[in-house]
Amino acid sequence: MRRSIRYIVAGLALGVPALTAGCAQATPSASAQPISRPAATASTAQDATSEPIGGPRMAETGLVLDLPTGVPAPPAFPASCYLVADLDSGAVILAKCPHAKGLPASTIKALTALALVDELPPATVITATEEDANQEGSRVGIRAGSSYTVEQLFQGMLLTSGNDAAWALARHRGLPETIAAMNAKAAQLGARDTAARNPSGLDATDQVSSAYDMALIGRAVLRNERLAGYVKTERTTFPSARVPGGGTRGSLEITNHNRLLTRYSGTIGVKNGYTLAARRTYIGAARRGASGYLLTYLKNPSSDWRLTTALFDWAFAYGGQVRPVGQLVEPAPGDPGAHSAAQGGSGQAALEALSAEGALHPAGAGVGAPQLDGLGWFGAHPEALLFTAGSMTVIAAGVSITRRTRQPQ
């Protein structure tokens, strides 16, 4: 079976069920491997009896909102989970199921970027391998044997959501070290719902995040001058394949998959994502004058970008009047890289451990971490398995499966 078809099958196993009411999560499977995390610091620790990160209302399901008299309600939004926060103060003004965990898709590349930006100087040259070039899903088009600067690969990863570029960067740093650094960075930011298992966002066992965590990650990206420059870039050039004999290489134009950069005034980033199981995911930010807002979502069934801009419009019009319902926490002090040993260390042993836990490969039969929709749903609805099998037959028989993943925003 071709790998692209295997990913469709895995995605159906993860995400065929219709969107559930509220933000109920599937029960973790008994065989799930534990997610390796750094020890929590005092500013990010959260146990079963503590207040949810961001405030008590961040634990609520349904719409979380506190409207003063005379302020209109926000427009309806179809995502299962979403959050709107003031970009400067961190005040959360609107949320729905902010801490519910779901598949992040390519928004995880924002965390990959945060984990690698201080480790890889932009002028460093990386020679691509066959494994890099043959990554499934969305690709910028790197070629094995051709060399690229780190800056070019960051642009390929963050603008066109290149899984090939993300893999090349992570491989150069070391795959287990990169995954460790991603999880350590998430912990430092206070993103306790997030577990990274690969650098690209392809669906993987236990790879999850939340709308709240994605806001923390997006804010951190925008606070990094180098990354903020990448994610607001509308278009740039990317080198073509190496010319045999040392001739001059050509270039091609790549454009940012974030549609709002060209369709909504003031947009400054950050990252969109899509897989069959995750549906559409997004970390967005816009600034107009002295005001700026972050908007994140998971499990959005709609590709209509105007629904997102309507929510931004509401925030810019009324965000200053709405009473906050939560707060984006500030990062813990210290170097997240210091936690790398707790995240799996380095070398072949760590690589084998990550591979055994499903960190480096797309998901197979099940999902170990809580999901918005997962195999727990199948346990309650066994009849859906028949539908899934039929759907896979139809897809295999009648749909042309391509290697490039659709991008929603």
Q: Which residues are catalytic?
A: 106, 109, 161
Number of H helices, E strands in the chain: 13, 11
How far from chain centre, in Å, is Cα 69?
A: 36
Report the alpha-carbon distance of residue 371 to residue 377 in Å, rounded. 10
- Per DSSP, the three-state class of 94 is strand
* Selection from 168, 245, 159, 234 nearest residue 199 by Cα: 168
Geometric angle at alpha carbon 271, from 266 and 275, rounded to 5°: 140
Beta strands in 174-278 (DSSP E): 235-239, 251-255, 267-275
Helices marked H in 90-210 — which ranges? Answer: 108-116, 130-133, 150-158, 163-173, 175-189
CB distance 28 to 369 below 8 Å: yes
Residue 297, amino acid: Y
* Selection from 236, 285, 278 nearest residue 258 by Cα: 285
Dihedral angle computed from the Cα positions of residues 97, 385, 391 and 405, in that order, rounded to the nearest 10 degrees = 40
